[in-house]
Amino acid sequence: MDLLFLIGIVLFLLGLMASIGLHEIGHLVPAKLFGVRVTQYMVGFGPTMWSRRRGETEYGVKWIPLGGYIRMIGMLPPRAGDDPGKVRSVSTGPWQGLIENAREVALEEVRPGDEDRVFYRKPWWQKVIIMTGGPAMNFVLAFVLFAVVLMGFGVTVHKTEIASVPACVKTAAQYAANPECTAADAASPAAAAGLRPGDVIVSVAGRPAATWEAATRAIRGSGAGPVQIGITRDGQPMTVTATLIAQDRESLDEPGKTERVGYLGVSPKQVIEKQDFGAVVVHMGDITSRTAAALLRFPEKMVGVWNAAFSGEERDKDGPIGVIGVSRIGGEIAASDAPLENKAAVFVSLLASFNLAIGLFNLIPLLPLDGGHIAGGLWEGVKRGFARVTRRPEPAHVDIAKVLPLTYVLAFTMIIMAGLLMYADLVNPIRLAG
């Protein structure tokens, strides 16, 4: 195996571990600020590789680098009949939480003086802040990493200037067989219209085209037939008429799907441009909405993963991918022939996207995810607010452990999906190229 490929895998795993560590710091810092006793801060799960105690908290690293957790005393309120000197212990990490829930949540001693340092006694808003801190840290980290890529490295921008005009139209199979144009190949609409490299597209069908995307959408939307293309050539405005043809192309709005669109046959000039802060905000908003939409389609996408794993179908490049798969992509980035700066930009962008996905996934309002605890805190706030308004006695603390049967269902589902992703990433991985 290529040494650079291995280095890429290791670097991504280190970046993932750092992201997990920062996620748990997002829980740890507000927990300590609000006076909750935190007994453990761990990156990974399983047997302990290394640990050290500082004050009342044990800090350490576990052998399995697929999660992390902090353990706060009293995350769940006591049940009727429980020993008043003990509280149920559960952790923030989903995998560690699953393990503890599976053994019906161990009891942990409450030391003298710690009665008000248990998590469940804290005001609902403090609980929400503590549990939101982890995903929020992932969002901050994703934003910072995207800022490094967009503002530091820059991104490829497609200009409206034409870089190349193919002489003919070929399918992928025809091009693979013979990239040269022959008398049997039809001339491309752009070449037939007299378009040349260096021409700048300014309008399509009378509509201004300030960006390459706008020009592309206008050309696609025009369908087959004649269309007027406004250009500037050597600084002089002019209009040419191109007879577009219909082709099946990948959808701009739904990657992976094809649609019948108008085809001109030109390629844009590409330049690397550093973006401003506003572009980072727009990019973060756009990719967050797309990632959230992908999570909503997660069960549907897992069907495609199953088919890819057991039927040999091509993996959906926008479908789910596990730690093994994304680490493998990190290896492909490192082993590619791209310039070092390009490798670094793609690598950082990949880590940013993974952080964003982790943050959104953890907000799902189900145990053992952070979102389940957040939902419990918000529900407690609603109940207590309603009691104050109606002058009723203050209700008991919300016991989110009452939904443990649902947690077990989710746990089983998560284990199955994680195993399926792991298998698919090994036998039919998503690759950077191809």
Q: Among residues 24, 108, 161, 332, which one is catalytic?
A: 24
Cis peptide before 368 (omega within 30 of 0): yes
Question: Which structure tokens are listed for 330?
Answer: 């990190």
Write b or e for each residue in 325-347: b if 16 or more Cβ atoms lie within 10 A of its Cβ, otherwise e.
Answer: bbbbbbbbbbbbeeeeeebbbbb
For residues 231 and 160, the answer to whether their CB atoms sit within 8 Å is: no
What angle do the packed helices 277-296 and 124-147 form, to 10 degrees?
120
| Tokens, residue 163 | 């870089």
Question: How would you label 279-298 residue by residue, b for 16+ Cβ within 10 Å and e otherwise?
Answer: bbeebbeebbeebeebeeee
CA-based nearest residue to 358, from 346, 344, 370, 347: 370
Identify the DSSP state of 232.
E
Q: At what angle do helices 94-102 and 404-427 cross, to 10 degrees?
A: 130
Q: In which residue are the tokens 């943050």 written?
A: 359
By the 10 Å C-beta count (0-12 exposed, 13-18 middle, 19+ buried), 58 is classed as middle
Q: Is 188 helix (H, G, I), strand (E, B) or coil?
A: coil
Strand arrangement, sheet containing 86-91: 38-54, 57-76, 86-91, 107-109
> Do the Cβ atoms of 262 and 223 come closer than 8 Å?
yes
Q: Rounded to 5 degrees, what are φ and ψ at 171?
A: -75, 170
394 is catalytic: no
- Fill in the amino acid letter for 413: T
Residue 433: alpha-carbon gap to chain centroid: 20
Among the listed residues 289, 287, 292, the one whose alpha carbon sits nearest the alpha carbon of residue 353? 287
Distance in angstroms (rounded) separating the CA atoms of residues 136 and 49: 27
Q: How far apart are the C-alpha atoms of 337 and 325, rounded to whole Å? A: 20
CA dist 427 and 315 (Å) reads 11
Q: Identify the residue whose tokens are 């039927």.
A: 311
CA distance 26 to 157: 35
Active-site residues, by number, are 24
